[in-house]
Structure 1
């Protein structure tokens, strides 16, 4: 009886913490995703250089990551920044034309397309979770949040076992081996999903850039980068990426517009029906309807942050449900319900 009361108290406490500090918890989860990618890279370095201790492999990995980011910034960063400014103006003009036509048809829409209007339309976190939920949402800003996420992810990747053992030590001794096993499966699932998703992002972004460049569009690199980044969000991301590509077609001849829009549709179909099943479905078999509903829930609860991190969070929750409930409570095997 005392144990049941204690577990109920812990569960209630967890719900309260999740409600008031949901944004902080999502940033922690983002740091875990960063750690998963870094741990995969560290493992690759150690396989290539087996005599290298993990501490040195961590240093080598971080140096390689910094060098690659610097080379990417030098190679295309200036181009992307200059294109982004021009693209923003072009999209604003295109939207003004579309909005004017829609208003003429009796469909009232905002005539202006400004980033500040979008930001102001997003509700503050405290309107949903109270002031405590906005600590990192508005207090530090996007750049500070990213720095905190990446620094936390680096420290997690340096010694992941230390933090895993720190969690399991709170459990009864008999339950610790099983907890380590389940946490290991969650970590492996997140790692495989995230690495696979990065590969898919590179494929979609690269193919989109090649398509737009071949059609002679001025903003090919920026639009391709946007398409690749938004592809991180399944189902929703490709639709969002379609908007700037579609708006950029206004003013182009019909042949160019049809080729670009048709080509982008083929790229997304290739991603959904060929590359994603080959890379992702073998790792995480998430039902499409469940994923969409979960992303909708996360979007309403946490806004863009919830939508962005919703799919990997669902993948982690799926492993926990299959292992801790289906296997341990129901006595079934997860393979039978995949």
Structure 2
């Protein structure tokens, strides 16, 4: 078989393999999620390994179950935070009267009209009450909310399947940590085996630190927002703070989404208290709290966590996330840092002949 034939066969094999991955993409996603959980859970596995009962270490299968139990407790706690907020929101929205909301917004509308007229700007749209009420009425339709809740319930079975599949795969990745390495080694030429061992070792070390750093960041943002919102008497401050912390994982636009979420939920819960009375004050308090937390997160926690976890300069991280966002949107921004870390690790082992590679991987 000549070189040309081997190249054609290799190309066809790659295409067929990619097509196969597309058809089993759900399983691929489950495996990736499991690999991430296994990386995050590895420090717990090591911690549980230090525990001895009657002079014997805890077996690996039991340690894996203990780590999975920790993850499940976390998910149950998350669900317990989410359920009352959804129930409260649905109940409030179903009882909202458009007229009441409009009366609450009337002072703001009047101020906006006065501002526009002062500078001879068009204000006719703000004077058309029917046109303003129509989208608000549509937004607050209970039927739409019911459909939304029905959609959530409709995906419940898929969520159960995903949780079971990810838990099953994660268990074996935790219990038998050699599975991934053996898969990679089986595809690695013998002459590159030592380099590949270093790649896997460094990848596990840095990615574990990165994902643990993300958990620390979520905890910091959640704690600060919870304290700040609680000071101003906002209901469900812990839940709002937690989900704002989750959204914060999306670089740049995540904080905007989280801030909008926090503001809308806070104002929605405030409807019960009298929308017209303290809406502006509450909005200022929520936004002020969120801006203060974001400043602390961006100036202090993020540079420390990301720079130390993946050993990259903050400017380097900023450029990587920006490029990834341009290419892959939100998903690209989320996976940018771990993917870039993997690329740097591989490049350090196999592309050291290039000066730019040596400069980018000096700290690794």
Q: TM-score, normalised by structure 1?
A: 0.74
CA drift of 1:19 comes to: 4.2
User: 1:92·1:112 contact (CA, 8 Å) conserved in 2?
Assistant: no
Summarize the alignment of residues 177-256 of structure 1 with structure 2, pairs less than 5 Å apart. Answer: 177-250=194-267, 251=275, 252-256=278-282
Aligned to 2:87: 85
Inter-CA distance 85–268: structure 2 relative to 1 (3 Å threshold): same
User: 2:225·2:241 contact (CA, 8 Å) conserved in 1?
Assistant: yes
Moved more, 191-200 or 138-147: 138-147
| Structure 2 runs not aligned, ≥5 long | 113-123, 268-274
1: CA distance, partners of 2:299 / 2:196: 35
Summarize the alignment of residues 24-103 of structure 1 with structure 2, pairs less than 5 Å apart. Answer: 24-47=27-50, 53=57, 55-56=59-60, 59-60=62-63, 62-63=65-66, 66=69, 70=73, 73=76, 78=80, 80-90=82-92
- Tell whether 2:191 aligns with 1:174: yes
User: 2:244·2:258 contact (CA, 8 Å) conserved in 1?
Assistant: yes
2: CA distance, partners of 1:49 / 1:312: 39
Aligned to 1:143: 160
User: 1:206·1:224 contact (CA, 8 Å) conserved in 2?
Assistant: yes
Moved more, 233-242 or 99-108: 99-108
Aligned to 1:112: 139
User: 1:87·1:219 contact (CA, 8 Å) conserved in 2?
Assistant: no
Aligned-residue Cα RMSD (Å) equals 4.1
- Tell whether 2:313 aligns with 1:291: no
User: 1:164·1:183 contact (CA, 8 Å) conserved in 2?
Assistant: yes
The SS at the match of 2:223 is helix
Aligned to 2:359: 336
Aligned to 1:128: none
1: CA distance, partners of 2:149 / 2:207: 30
Aligned to 1:126: none
Inter-CA distance 28–69: structure 2 relative to 1 (3 Å threshold): closer
CA drift of 1:231 comes to: 2.6
CA drift of 1:196 comes to: 0.5
User: 2:48·2:58 contact (CA, 8 Å) conserved in 1?
Assistant: no
Inter-CA distance 31–212: structure 2 relative to 1 (3 Å threshold): same
CA drift of 1:104 comes to: 4.9
Inter-CA distance 231–325: structure 2 relative to 1 (3 Å threshold): same
User: 1:45·1:61 contact (CA, 8 Å) conserved in 2?
Assistant: no
Q: Across the two proteins, how many residue pairs are aligned to each other?
A: 312
Aligned to 1:318: 340
Inter-CA distance 80–18: structure 2 relative to 1 (3 Å threshold): closer
CA drift of 1:268 comes to: 1.3
2: CA distance, partners of 1:324 / 1:10: 24
1:173-197 per-position Cα deviation (integer Å, ceiling 9, x unaligned): 2222222221222222221111010
User: 1:193·1:280 contact (CA, 8 Å) conserved in 2?
Assistant: yes
2: CA distance, partners of 1:33 / 1:59: 20
User: 1:31·1:150 contact (CA, 8 Å) conserved in 2?
Assistant: yes
